[in-house]
Amino acid sequence: MRREREGSNTRNLDLIVVSNSSIIIALARIRRLDLLEKLFKKIIVPKAAWREVAIVR
């Protein structure tokens, strides 16, 4: 995940996160997707990563 800081005193709640599929899959396996929402203000998932996660196999 990459974090973009908007200021020098940025708290986790003010971070914008760009996520790839691996972290989403890992958190889903342990049923802790809620951690992303608790830690970060905004989470951006690129379309390619979303397709990897959302495709039912």
pLDDT score at 6: 52
Give the count of beta carbons closer than 10 Å to the beta carbon of residue 41.
Answer: 14
pLDDT score at 10: 47
pTM score: 0.63
Tokens at 8, concatenated? 């020098």
Q: Could you say which DSSP state residue 33 is in?
A: T
Q: Could you list the mean pLDDT of each consecutive 10-residue stretch along the chain, which spans 57 residues?
A: 50 72 92 90 88 80
Tokens at 56, concatenated? 């039912």
